[in-house]
Amino acid sequence: MIEEHPSDLRADIARYFPGRSLNEFHRNEFGTGTMSWLELWEFVLALPYDSMTKSAMAGDHGHRRWTESDYMLRELLAVAQFQARIAWAGHHIEGKVPDLPLWEEPDRRSPEQIEADRELAVARAERARKYHEATKPGSQDTEYAKKLAAALAEHQRVAAEEQRLPDGGGQTPPDN
């Protein structure tokens, strides 16, 4: 943790434990420091959920995690929106009740994860497009359609084999 997130840890110790510094721990390695491993670990455990160190340890390197205050504000907004809907309906105001969307939680994925998810979505959309093109009525026989037909035939063959009795009689079990 010290090697992975040193600047976050340094900032959090200075912020949440005034008068203390990560330098006290580093000096300890040379025998002159005042912070032990145990004390450093206790400081890390005492850090709040929204601290930079805990955010980085949870994989949020952009510090986009919500704090407890953010969650409380979202809930207060939800209550206010609910009261507005009740007031709208209770006073028989003409027109449709306004759509009041809640705040969305921030996206904590890394840029690499976002790009990988985007590429996956594009690949899925392309597969769905190929499937719909190959299976719509009147479509031309394409390689993809042939693969789909072969896969369907294989699936039906395996399903038929599973329905046969173990004695090899070729009969299907009776429905109860």
pLDDT at 64: 66
Q: From CA 162, how far away is CA 22, in angstroms rounded?
A: 66
pLDDT at 125: 93
Residues 8-62 pLDDT 10s: 888 888 888 888 888 777 765 555 567 788 888 888 888 887 787 887 777 766 6
Cα–Cα distances (Å) from 129 to 122, 123, 153, in that order, read: 10, 10, 22
**How many CB atoms lie under 10 A from the CB of residue 148?**
15
Residues 120-164 pLDDT 10s: 999 999 988 887 877 777 666 567 777 778 888 999 999 888 887
> How many Cα atoms within 13 Å fall on the side-chain side of residue 165?
8
Q: Is the pLDDT reported for residue 173 higher than 60?
A: no
Q: Which among 108, 119, 9, 125 is positioned nearest to 59, based on CA atoms? A: 108
Mean pLDDT over 162-175 rounds to: 61
* Contact assessment for residue 59 and residue 110, using Cβ atoms and an 8 Å cutoff: yes
pLDDT at 28: 57
Angle subtended at Cα 66 by Cα 113 and Cα 120, rounded to the nearest 5 degrees: 20
Cα–Cα distances (Å) from 117 to 106, 123, 148, in that order, read: 16, 10, 26
